[in-house]
Amino acid sequence: METEAADQRAEPADDVTLDDVVSLCKRRGFIFQSSEIYGGLGSTYDYGHYGVLLKNNVKDEWWRAMIGERDDIVALDSAILQHPRTWEASGHLEGFTDPLIDCRVCKMRFRADKLEDSSCGRKPSKRPGDTEACDLTDARQFNLMFETHMGAVRDDASAVYLRPETAQGIFVNFKNVLQFARRKPPFGIAQVGKSFRNEITPQNFIFRTREFEQMEMEFFVAPDEAERWFDYWLGERRRWYDELGIRPDHLRLRAHPTDELSHYSTATSDIEYLFPIGWSELEGIANRGDFDLRQHSEFSGEKLEYFDQQSGERYVPHVIEPAAGADRATLAFLVDAYDAEEVEGRQRTVLRLHPRLAPVKVAVLPLVSKEGMPERARALYEQLRRRLRAEYDEGGSIGKRYRRQDEIGTPWGVTVDGQTADDDTVTLRDRDSLEQVRVPIDGLADELVARLEAPWRSPKLEAG
């Protein structure tokens, strides 16, 4: 389970700041503060059109890696509200806590283990407890789960929790999947969905929020094979980020020392990304042993084990868990892609996203809004959008429209001009090289699909 102590190991990131990314996200409608017209709600965010498309592409790529390109993992979508006993068995009710201190004067709350990094709510702002005017309570354990009540009666018996991780929905369905998906170890169950944590100090845009999406997979294996599969999944998950174009020198693996391991884990390694705030966890890969299945067996009375009819062997599978955050991965892809450069004396901001992640793959633009160009461009757009996500744009100067597409990361621009009517060709502009080539409309969709499927490397690597 993630801890804040693991975050933000200082080391200078490259010159992209979080503010650069936040303001681009707002300017281009990727991500907004939630409930903005009411002044915003603490650390929750809403995704606009391009943000939805980008995050969907991140999740699609995860699904592709989990079930599209292999046969040993099945999908699951379990409910957010689960039986409260789930959280007793998992240890969350008792142990999913942070130490919390309140100030009776300024009414602010602080993490007891983070007082040095906190500012008190009174001016001039100091560290909590630094002046005599502060009146701090003793530390108490604060459970990070959001509690609500099910049904008409609001009492302890009706308490239920918004899930703090998607993983437990997988463990409680182990028996169903074993039976109905007819799987046997080694096999995995994958799930993407919302999780909720009442973080005391959420921060850094969508890096740490109270409502977020996780992409988790629990891989069930024979006990004596757990170590081998742990190493295997470390490699696979690192490769996923590499293939989606994250610069290799901005990724690293970090093994948790024993005193940092969660109660369920015998080994955990994080894939860390060099965010503008420093090296921080992007994804955790844990060897959870048989902790979860044993706990749920004990609490539910159901046998959660595997019986191999051929060998006559019966065992509780061990679990290897790659646990990623969809929002946090989206932030890493945005940061890694963000670039600013001067082209012909003008500033250009560009998102150099892997084409498969880009919200829009191709923009179709008439050079000017006359001489039949909009009609021809629109017809071409309608043809291309059957094969890949396209956008038609005829408003404003062509330079302005290119810049807009650069900022949302569209890898290719197709411009219909005066010559198109004569010879059925268009110009194809590449976002990264800015190269423009004349190509026939016939075969253009095939060409773009081929480019989309080709391996890709961040041009920021060449730039040094």
For ligand GAP, the binding residues (CB under 6 A) are 1-2, 165, 167, 197, 199, 208-209, 212, 214, 216, 281-284, 323-325, 327-328
Our CB check for ligand GAP shows the closer of 329 and 358 to be: 329
Q: How far is the CB of 234 from ligand GAP (least distance, A)?
A: 14
Name the residue nearer to ligand GAP (CB basis): 269 or 297: 269
Q: How far is the CB of 169 from ligand GAP (least distance, A)?
A: 10
Closest approach, Cβ 219 to ligand GAP, in A, equals 13
C-beta of 434: minimal distance to ligand GAP in Å? 34
> Which helix (DSSP H) or strand (DSSP E) does residue 210 occupy?
none
Shortest CB 282 distance to ligand GAP, Å: 6
Closest CB to ligand GAP among residues 272, 417: 272
Shortest approach of ligand GAP to residue 138 CB, angstroms? 26
Here the tokens at position 319 are 């679990």
Give the pairing type, strands 425-430 and 436-440.
antiparallel
- Choice between 26 and 254, CB closer to ligand GAP: 254
Query: CA 267, CA 4: separation in Å to the nearest integer?
Result: 18
Cα gap 72→128, rounded to integer Å: 52
The nearer residue to ligand GAP, 196 or 306, going by C-beta atoms, is: 196
What Rg do the C-alpha atoms of the chain give, in angstroms?
A: 25
Measured in residues, the chain has a length of 464
Q: Decide the pairing of beta strands 140-143 and 109-111.
A: unpaired
Residue 338 is classified by DSSP as E
Question: How far apart are the C-alpha atoms of 197 and 125, rounded to whole Å?
Answer: 27
Q: Which is nearer to ligand GAP, 170 or 428 (CB)?
A: 170
Residue 198: CB minimum distance to ligand GAP, A? 10
Closest CB to ligand GAP among residues 57, 209:
209
Q: Please state, in angstroms and rounded to a whole number, the distance separating the CA atoms of residues 62 and 241.
A: 10
Residue nearest to ligand GAP (CB): 325
Question: What is the SS3 assignment for 313?
Answer: strand
Q: Is 186 in a helix, a strand, or coil?
A: coil
Residue 445 contacts by C-beta under 8 Å, 6 or more apart in sequence? 383, 384, 386, 387, 388
